[in-house]
Structure 1
Amino acid sequence: MLCWVLILLFVGFLKAQENPVVIYAQVGGTVTLPRYRVEGNADNVYVNWYLHAFSLYSNNQAFMFVITGHVCLSFLAREMKTHADLLSDFSLQISPVQHSDFEIWRCVQHVLLTTSEKTYKLYHDLSPFPDTIYTSYSSSTVDIPCSLFSNIPWSVLKESGLRGAGWSFTPLSDPKSTQSLLSLSVDPVVRWNITQGANNTIKVKGRELKDQDLSIRNLPVSENIRGVYTCDLKLNTKTLSSEVTVEVLKVSSSGGSRVYEGQSVNLTCTLGHQHSSDFEVKWSCSSCSFISSLKPPHPSSLSIPEVKVKDSGRWTCELWKNEKKLTSVVLSLKIVKAPVDIWLCVAISGGVVGFILLLVIVIICIRRHRQVNVHFDTQSGFIHPQQNQKGFYKT
């Protein structure tokens, strides 16, 4: 007898899923499967919700049951009760949405001898991906992911209320400045178009979309791309969004990539802002001896008082968190001996400058020493040094 019941329920399930209503949701979010009103007295309407062919919820407490496999459990399944419930109008609200909820749902309503059914197909939102992407100057480009989790044709998306989609960018250095990067067009082909007036420091490219992949592809890496990227999918009833933060690791040398032996050099490895204490920096060098003298944890800035030729090579800075390597960046540092002619020019130049300064000082001292008061003799027309006059004058 139970088998016949299961068969009948399964047949009804197959018939009901021919034209399901498409509803989109995101894991961890909230979604409501609406109950369409039917004619008749609301007090005499009995509502049953089914997951696949199995009855899950009913507004008739006396006949509420769940069938999982071949096991019949009375009342509500405790596992389902924790994240789904009937609303006052007997619509079904699921919160938080779980991976197991992306299935076929069916609402069956009974008014006296009349029965009506509505089937819903719950599609996964956007695919989950890491909250933060770490890249570095050692990578020429980076992809920023966004895609539809389910294999939903674009025709179905448009029929189910797709109004548009877009990418926007908020720089880490200015959280209040959000800029539009890309917008979606669906006719005659589905493609990303660069938004008019988009920030030209973010070198995004428009492209035609062949599948459910909405990602930004081949974004050139630079300091300018540090920020939060938001992928929006706009529907009639809601907007599905996903965010990812892009961090760029950079290493720089105070003396450039070519340094003369004996100079002091500072090497700095940074994300462009102060990172939290659970991040760790690790330095390595292929041939230098300076790193071996450092004790972990390594500082993000290295100060080398006097570089040597053997310190030449590839200096690598790695960023770690919770014993996991996030990204790394490489700096090729070349240490060369200063040519003899350079030092000779420096010595000669220093000597000439010193001689000129000494000569200027001597001239100034002589001129001050010879400076005396003079007077003009009106009779002879000559200027004579004025000598101190002592005694009395006869008038």
Structure 2
Amino acid sequence: MLVFWALLLLQLPSHSFSEPKQNYFAQVGSSVTLHRKMDYSKGAYVRWFFESNGNNILLILKHPKQDMPKKEQLEEWKNRISLSTNYDLIISDLKESDFTDGHFRCEQQTSNDIQRAEYKLNRVRMPLSLTIPAGDELSLSCESDTVQIPTIQWDTPNNKTYTRQKKITEKVTAQYSGSWRCKDQTDPRQVQVSTTVIVIDLTPFPAELYSSISSRSPPLVLPCSLSSAVSLSELERVHLNQARWSFRPLNMSSEQEPYTLLTLSSSSWTHNQTSSQRILLSEKHLKGQDLSTSIPKLTASYRGTYTCQLEFKSGKIISSTLKLELLEVGSSVREKVTIREGDPVNLTCSLGHPTPPGITLKWKHPTTQARFQNHLHIPWAKVSDSGQWTCELTKDSTILTSARINLKIVKVIDAWVYLVSSGVLVFVLILIAVIIVCRKRQAVMYRRRKTRFCCCKNPQVKGFHKT
């Protein structure tokens, strides 16, 4: 009996020790990695336990002679635990019970000793994701109900650093979208708390859009899109009330309400029946975060201001506005009509209103490339003026848009010259005809006056006699 106890004592590790309990901070639904501080000894057993209400539950075991760790078939922990290459415990999809019911323990056993370390999970009540409209107040708190985090530091997507602040309150813009992480400055691994902030905003576009009125121009796209990849279901989740396109004509006063052209319905734009029927936009099906629409055919009535707007049930409104400037050219003669050399021609080019400061309108000659003013008067058109005249709208030497018109100028003989030459030709032809007729009549008369002579059978007095 004494021999048995002696052998048993010889198999026990020579000594054992435990590290102080380590506090880790995480969120329900997230993942956490419990790091072993002890150095791994070759040939050691690594066991991870969960202790709760006096129960010591073995979660996973790494045998030194096995490549893969062995998991215990526990329904509560199934598919939620694994080991890293350094045999740290990885827990995914954290549940409420992981924080309140107990603590975790790691044991590393060799033939000489056994080392233990205990870990306590502390819950931080921060959402895993947060979606808010731009301009609203973002409020984040990195606090635990049980243990205080020693030295807090925030990592933010806009590269702004917050230190020693448990709570953050900021009015957000699109630059605040991304991952916000709360960590401990002394040991960042112990605080694994983060949230993904999605700020609903519209991508900024140029305030003015320039195009030209032409029968051959393709549909004009009115751009509008969300700055973050947010689905429509996500928008509805944050209480989106309505999305719409509205239009304010060029001559409408600021006191009047703009026309609502399109409203969002079932992931598509639909025409508003009460809007002006002169303005029609395409009912485009929405894809991703693109809220753009288009104008099928441009006319002068489409000049004005267009607004893409998101309205939330809280009353918050986010909008993006652009002013559509349309360049239109005209001529005193119709296009595709032949112009005679010497005729006067007027060419006009305008935006339908006085040209804003810094904007220039110039006509470009089709052959010489010379520039002229936007209202061009050609008193005497020449054949060399034929071709495609281009009106260019420029700002700071940059061509914003252009419009073209074709002129066909031909050289035509004057009418009086034509009449004189035609009269001379007719006179000559008549003269020739008269001469021909006279010649024929003279020949006929000559043949009628000629005397005929004959030789008789019965001779008479020698000589010729009339018959």
Q: TM-score range by the shorter chain?
A: 0.5 to 0.7
3-state SS of the aligned residue for 1:34? strand
In the alignment, the residues of structure 1 paired with residue 155 and residue 132 of structure 2 have an alpha-carbon distance, to the nearest angstrom, of 15
Among 295, 302, 310, the residue aligned to 2:376: 302
1:149 and 2:227 matched: yes
Hey, what does 2:188 align to over in structure 1?
none
1:276 and 2:352 matched: no
1:198 and 2:275 matched: yes
Among 188, 199, 208, the residue aligned to 1:123: 199
Conservation of the 8 A alpha-carbon contact between 1:48 and 1:55: no
In the alignment, the residues of structure 1 paired with residue 416 and residue 220 of structure 2 have an alpha-carbon distance, to the nearest angstrom, of 43
Hey, what does 2:285 align to over in structure 1?
208
Among 319, 322, 334, the residue aligned to 2:393: 319
In the alignment, the residues of structure 2 paired with residue 304 and residue 5 of structure 1 have an alpha-carbon distance, to the nearest angstrom, of 88
Deviation, structure 1 residue 254: 1.8
Conservation of the 8 A alpha-carbon contact between 1:144 and 1:217: yes
1:248 and 2:326 matched: yes
**Letter paired with 2:385:** D
Deviation, structure 1 residue 118: 9.1
How many aligned positions are there?
289
Conservation of the 8 A alpha-carbon contact between 1:49 and 1:105: no
Whichever structure has more helix as a proportion of its residues is 1
Deviation, structure 1 residue 313: 1.1
Deviation, structure 1 residue 162: 1.5
Q: Note the aligned Cα RMSD (angstroms).
A: 4.2
In the alignment, the residues of structure 2 paired with residue 305 and residue 55 of structure 1 have an alpha-carbon distance, to the nearest angstrom, of 67
Deviation, structure 1 residue 320: 0.9
Deviation, structure 1 residue 151: 1.5
Q: What does the per-residue CA deviation read over 1:81-136, in whole Å, with 9 as the maximum and x for residues that have no partner?
A: xxxxxxxxx661236x363x22234689xxxxxx9x89461325111211111000
Hey, what does 1:328 align to over in structure 2?
402
1:225 and 2:307 matched: no
| Distance of aligned partners of 1:340 and 1:56 in 2 relative to their CA distance in 1, 3 Å threshold | closer
In the alignment, the residues of structure 1 paired with residue 275 and residue 410 of structure 2 have an alpha-carbon distance, to the nearest angstrom, of 45
Hey, what does 2:263 align to over in structure 1?
183
In the alignment, the residues of structure 2 paired with residue 236 and residue 47 of structure 1 have an alpha-carbon distance, to the nearest angstrom, of 39
**Letter paired with 2:262:** L
3-state SS of the aligned residue for 1:157? helix
Q: What does the per-residue CA deviation read over 1:133-154, in whole Å, with 9 as the maximum and x for residues that have no partner?
A: 1000243421100011221122
In the alignment, the residues of structure 2 paired with residue 33 and residue 210 of structure 1 have an alpha-carbon distance, to the nearest angstrom, of 28
Structure number with greater CO (CA < 8 Å, separation at least 6) is 1
In the alignment, the residues of structure 1 paired with residue 204 and residue 398 of structure 2 have an alpha-carbon distance, to the nearest angstrom, of 20
In the alignment, the residues of structure 2 paired with residue 48 and residue 235 of structure 1 have an alpha-carbon distance, to the nearest angstrom, of 34
Q: What does the per-residue CA deviation read over 1:49-73, in whole Å, with 9 as the maximum and x for residues that have no partner?
A: 8445999547xxxx459xxxxxxxx
Hey, what does 1:102 align to over in structure 2?
177
| Distance of aligned partners of 1:253 and 1:6 in 2 relative to their CA distance in 1, 3 Å threshold | farther
| Distance of aligned partners of 1:64 and 1:151 in 2 relative to their CA distance in 1, 3 Å threshold | closer
Conservation of the 8 A alpha-carbon contact between 1:56 and 1:64: no
In the alignment, the residues of structure 2 paired with residue 135 and residue 254 of structure 1 have an alpha-carbon distance, to the nearest angstrom, of 23
Structure whose CA Rg is larger: 2
| Distance of aligned partners of 1:195 and 1:310 in 2 relative to their CA distance in 1, 3 Å threshold | same
Alignment of 1:1-395 (within 5 A): 19-25=128-134, 30-34=135-139, 50-52=154-156, 56-57=161-162, 63-64=164-165, 92-94=169-171, 97=173, 99=175, 101-105=176-180, 119=195, 121-138=197-214, 139-176=217-254, 177=256, 178-186=258-266, 190-237=267-314, 238-257=316-335, 258=337, 259-287=339-367, 292=370, 298-337=372-411
| Distance of aligned partners of 1:47 and 1:103 in 2 relative to their CA distance in 1, 3 Å threshold | farther
Hey, what does 1:390 align to over in structure 2?
none
Q: What does the per-residue CA deviation read over 1:231-272, in whole Å, with 9 as the maximum and x for residues that have no partner?
A: 011223311100011100111112222333322121111111
3-state SS of the aligned residue for 1:208? coil
| Distance of aligned partners of 1:164 and 1:56 in 2 relative to their CA distance in 1, 3 Å threshold | same
3-state SS of the aligned residue for 1:147? coil
Deviation, structure 1 residue 48: 6.9
**Letter paired with 2:393:** L
| Distance of aligned partners of 1:337 and 1:105 in 2 relative to their CA distance in 1, 3 Å threshold | same
In the alignment, the residues of structure 2 paired with residue 250 and residue 55 of structure 1 have an alpha-carbon distance, to the nearest angstrom, of 49
In the alignment, the residues of structure 2 paired with residue 98 and residue 18 of structure 1 have an alpha-carbon distance, to the nearest angstrom, of 19
**Letter paired with 2:399:** K
Conservation of the 8 A alpha-carbon contact between 2:343 and 2:381: yes
